[in-house]
Amino acid sequence: MERAEKMKKVEEDLIEMKNISELMLDLAYSSVLFQNKDIAEEVIELEDRIDRLYEEIIDKILIRCTEDKDIKREKIALKVADSIERFADAALDIADVVLRDIDLHPVIKKSMRESDEIMVRRIIKKGSYLDGKTLNETHMGTKIGMKVIAVRRKNSWSYGPSKDLRLKRGDVIFARGPEESENVLDEWTS
């Protein structure tokens, strides 16, 4: 693999780490807000993915450093990867509050409950309204006010998925929107 190609792969991995860590923070906050252990457990799985990416990046950079004396780009990439990994660890710490059933201070509970939105995790069932439709075809945002922020298909994630993403049975969707839309989303995924 050529030198430029190796660094391009590192950059792609860093972007994936960034996207995952942003989703982790969103999910961790939501897990605490709604005391939702399913969402908190997703944070744990994502943190495992971050750890694997982090190790892969370190390996690639160390190999790259043995090939070249000018390692400025590699040092920057390592610092970025380390920062993202620590950010992901912080999101995990937030979700851990839910997993360990730690009671929040009443002031924190009150400030968090003032949100008008909820975050939900749903699995699309075979033959459901969402099965086989693109996000655009669902008109989810205009019909029920929910926005899909991420989709997990087996071990693959789509963050901020495009409107052209076709949903399939077994997909796990993470959506945010008004609490009164939750029942409709339940019907659409069942």
Per-residue pLDDT of the chain (190 residues; tens, 9 = 90+): 566 777 788 999 999 999 999 989 988 988 887 788 989 999 999 999 999 999 999 998 888 877 777 788 888 999 999 999 999 999 999 999 999 988 777 776 666 666 677 888 899 999 999 999 999 999 999 999 999 988 999 888 888 899 999 999 999 999 989 889 999 999 999 9
CATH of the domain spanning 116-189: 3.30.70.1450
- What pTM was computed for the model? 0.75
Tokens of 182: 């939750």
Q: Tell me the backbone φ, ψ of residue 4, rounded to 5 degrees.
A: -65, -35
pLDDT given for residue 34 in this prediction = 78
Question: What count of residues does the chain have?
Answer: 190
Listed by start position, the domains of the chain span 3-106, 116-189
Contact criterion met (CB below 8 Å) for 138 and 162: no
In eight-state DSSP terms, residue 140 is H
Architecture of domain 3-106: Up-down Bundle (1.20)
**In one letter, which amino acid is 103?**
D
